[in-house]
Chains A and B, each alone.
Chain A
Amino acid sequence: MNRDVRRSATRGLVASSTLGALIVAGSRNLDHFDAALVAYTFSILFATFGLTYRYSMWLSRPPTALYWRRGWQAFFRRGLLIRHAGQLLSRIGLDVLGNRFIVRRGQLRGLTHLLIMWGCIIAVAITFPLVFGWLHFSPVPGDLTRYEAVVFGFRAFRFPHDSTLAFFLFHGLVWASFLVIAGVMLAMRRRMREGGAAALQRFAEDFMPLVLLFAVSVTGLMLTASYTWMKGYGFTFISILHAVTVIGTFLWLPFGKFFHVFQRPAQLGVGFYKDVGRLEEKAHCRRCGHAFTSRMHVLDLIEVERKLGYRYEIAAGEVEHYQWICPPCRRASFVMAQGLLWRGHRGGSSLPCAEALLPMPTFANRGLGEGPLDSEDAENFHP
């Protein structure tokens, strides 16, 4: 067992033990812990171990480790912390909670993700505290018309049990499942109709999560239908079926597509890294002389590539490392190398350049979507 595996397993055990301790504390020594939900609890504890283990292993990869560190360093950069704190809140709101970047990929796609994401957030916010015994409702002593919500053993708020608030609160999982089912249907529709999606998708990676979410939502709704309109018909069987789908989903969390939920916040750190890079010294291509990214980014990539075993060092000349060549000049070098082999076979001749640096290649078509895709491509490719 190597060091990373041992360290990740230890972190996983610490995380699941901490959650176990919080369950004991939050349910007041299991006084408010519902024993019927013990299978859910253990599946979440396992998922916590698995997620922490995988996250830790992911962080041990050279590029992830470096950018994790750099992201935090960039965020806490002296003189920029207040600005970064404001940007953090704004980006969490717009990108994480509002899915702005997904809406830009496609409005229907954005709606699909928003429905699934918010359905899951609502469901998790309700079920986890209930399963852990962190939240329970009890009648207000001496007033049987009102309920009291108790959070982590502390009285939180009271409400009439026949109020609209109570109706919405006690049916929270129903609303959540409506959102999830609508989102899953839209996602399935896209996966079945789009040729591009059909070519790239895999069952385990792309369909399995949708099937699991659908199964959880539908069996959950069946429970509500059973006790509301069918006098509890088949309730025991449905509750076992629901438990199986939910536990299956939890166990799948660390392995499949759901892991992106935990990876995704890394984009916030990357944003600060790139912001700081724009304020710093630029890297200049050693073929054409134009600036194309931050010097810090080039140096970091050289370090990552060395750790990964790549040897892009160039022994002769002033270039030193291929990473100092901008992307357009790499394309030019690649094609010129092929052309060099044809020298003497085909017509044309080299047109010597009087300048010390060669001119930078330019896009044949700079139209939107045909050359650079966005402002960052403009920096990368300096069209």
Chain B
Amino acid sequence: MAVLDVRDLSVAYGDHVALRDVSLRIEPGQILGLLGPNGAGKTTLMNAVVGAVRPRAGAISVCGVDVAAHPRRARAYVGYAEQEIAVFPTLTARENVRDWAAICGVPRRQQDEAVAATLSALLLDRIADRQVRTLSGGQRRRVHCAMATVARPPLLLLDEPTVGVDPGTRRAVLEHVRELADAGTAICYSTHYLPEVEALQAEVVLLADGTVATRGGVADLLDRYGSTVIDLRIAEQDSDPRTISVKVAGPHALPAVVQGLGTDLHRLVGLDIRRSSLDEVFDRVVAAGEVPADAP
């Protein structure tokens, strides 16, 4: 059974349609990277999952519980870290995480262990007893994430959890997310940092204008929408080598390209193979009018 099952979801704010016929599923242990430009509907989708916005059409179930019919029961399965940091600044980091564990129903005798493990995973041990108001933005964001994960919910919604954090913090967050997924948590991870999606080996759903523009694994998307370019450097008699760029279907085309040089082969002094990044795929799919005709 999918932990999160979204079927034909449409959400509108007045006349503005924020989501249109969106469907997706997340299985236990799966990480779904939710990508899309600003205003694509990523946050609206997460808010709909916790019942904070009412869908105009479609259905959402969490662990088999229909969110519209039983929002409270469904929310019991969800940990949600919104994009905006939501912490209690006058409490310490430990108090924030401990109180949230208690509010989310972690049994009292398990709270110490759960809090300590979560603080440690997010590198918060040394600052655990400082009031959150005295912490840096990145540290506050880690406390914010820790509050969402401490109860080890079956479904975790993380909305841009690494905005404005340093590389070390980003690595800690990503490692924590990976560990949670390995332990069976289903994770919906919204981000603009595409390398994070690659690092998490996440399945990708790319939203654009409130609809699913494309979906698939990172490698699959690179194959479908990316391109490979082979740069050949050819020696010239009286000048610097010139570069010939050949766009090919993939690296496997290299022998054919090299053989195609014919009598110039002996003048080949170097070559590079350049593959599209996920960023380029993202730009290409999102850009208006450039969605390939075979896009699913």
Q: Do A and B bind each other?
A: no
